[in-house]
Homo-oligomer: A and B are copies of this chain.
Amino acid sequence: MNLRVVLVEPLYDGNVGSVARAMKNFGLSELVLINPCKIEDFGMAMASHARDVLMMARSFTTLQDALAGADLVVGTTGKRLDEAQHHLRLHLRVPCLIPRELAKKLAGKEGTVALLLGREDCGLNSEELALCDMLVSIPTSINYPVMNLSHSAAVLFYELAQTESECADGCKVEMASGETLALLREKSAQLLRETDYPPHKVDFALLMLRRILGRAELTQREARTLLGLIKKIRWQIACREMRK
């Protein structure tokens, strides 16, 4: 899937630059601007190492032109249902997906999706919303629902990239094998029996340990270190036993 990011009449060049940076952070490169503010030094600075994205951005004067070749148009809106209920054109704003639902819907799809982000002060207007195939809204606090434009963008890019890769290039670490974990439980049980742990509590303690180690999702290296530690402790107890 190719994601085209469309900023509709952005007012501040800092935001445009910040969106470009967030795009590059999540592997996106196609930026389209509709009647943008002038991009000056501050916008370039905010783009940081994503100046190339900003320099390659195409500008249009109409949304229709910006959408040429797009297979699907997704509009973003911060307007919530309770506000929108008083709105005569309610159907323009509902139903609205949350970012995760959108990501699931787009997962594994091919084609070009245009993601529309509206003006900093008033978002997308009715005519623009009417051109959208889907709407997405980030769930925010009712006390302050209006997000910074580039923050909304970053959250959406992040969510769409998640589904795209499901951690494809994330921190891959070798997880402890089932065999090593079984050995760890066996050695823990032996240690417990050697420490006069109250017999009626042993099973409970072992189950608890199993759950704790399970939730910790041990790496192979960590599991081996724990095994080494238990061996040391048991050795210590055994040596002193023998010396008696």
Residues of A within 8 A of B (CB): 18, 21-22, 24-27, 46, 48-50, 80-81, 94-96, 98-100, 105, 137-148, 150-151, 154-155, 158, 161-162, 165, 167-173, 191-192, 194-197, 205, 208, 211-213, 215-219, 222, 225-226, 229, 232-233, 235-237, 240-241, 243-244
Contact of B80 with A171 in the complex, beta carbons under 8 Å = yes
Write out the residue numbers on chain B whose beta carbons fall within 8 Å of the beta carbon of A100: 162
Pick the contact of A191: B26, B96, B211, B233 (CB < 8 A). B233
A45 to chain B, nearest CB (A): 10
From A93, which residue of chain B is reached at the shortest CB distance?
Answer: B171
- Distance between Cα atoms of A141 and B22 in the complex (Å): 10
Check B222 against A212 for contact (C-beta < 8 Å). yes
A-B contact pairs, 9 of them (CB 8 A): A25-B147, A27-B141, A99-B158, A140-B161, A151-B151, A158-B158, A196-B232, A205-B225, A236-B237
Q: Knowing A150-B151, A165-B139 are in contact, say whether A25-B215 is a contact too (CB < 8 A).
A: no
Which residue among A99, A140, A208 has the maximum number of chain B CB atoms within 10 Å of its CB? Answer: A140
Known contacts A240-B240, A244-B244: A212-B208 contact under CB 8 Å: no
